[in-house]
Amino acid sequence: MRLIDADEFEVISWSAQGQRGDYARGYDDGIQFMAEKIDKAPTIEAEPVINAVWQYYMNDEGKARWRCGNCGRICRRDPHDKLRCSTCGAHMTKEA
Ligand SMILES: [Zn+2]
């Protein structure tokens, strides 16, 4: 699914641009039909996608650790096979 801003649609008219005839009227009717369909379409609640990275570091004991760049969750094992942080749900992209 791809979320878009339906308020940005502009209803265009071929007739208003000087075009005449059945084809121009049919075109405008089709555009108007779709504009009304878009206006009546239900809206959905969407949460913003949070992107973060696993930040590698060595702790005070010299052991390798990885920290979620969003929430700070610390992993003891390499978490790069995890696409999301299990604590905050951030979508992991690449290591910093
Ligand atoms: Zn996190």
Report the sign of the C-alpha dihedral through residues 88, 90, 92, 93, in that order: negative
Report the alpha-carbon distance of residue 47 to residue 18 in Å, rounded. 44
Q: Give yes or no: residues 31 and 57 share one domain.
A: no
Give distance in angstroms: CA of 92 to centre of ligand 1. Answer: 9
Q: pTM of this prediction?
A: 0.54
pLDDT value, residue 84: 92
Q: Report how far ligand 1's centroid is from the alpha carbon of 88 (Å).
A: 4
pLDDT of residue 56: 94
Pick out the chain residues at pLDDT < 70.
Answer: 95-96
What's the CA gap between 8 and 17, in Å, rounded?
A: 21
Q: State residue 7's pLDDT score.
A: 84
Comparing C-alpha atoms, which of 82, 85, 59 is closest to residue 71? 85
| CA–CA distance, 36 with 57 (Å, rounded to integer) | 55
Would you say residue 60 lies in a domain? yes
- The alpha carbon of 95 and the centre of ligand 1 are apart by a number of angstroms equal to 13
On whether both 36 and 10 belong to a single domain, the answer is: yes
pLDDT at 95: 57
Q: What is the pLDDT of residue 12?
A: 84
**Ligand 1 geometric centre to CA of 37 (Å):** 39
Identify the pLDDT of residue 96: 53
How many angstroms separate the CA atoms of 42 and 89, rounded? 26
Please give the residue range of the domain that contains residue 60. 51-95
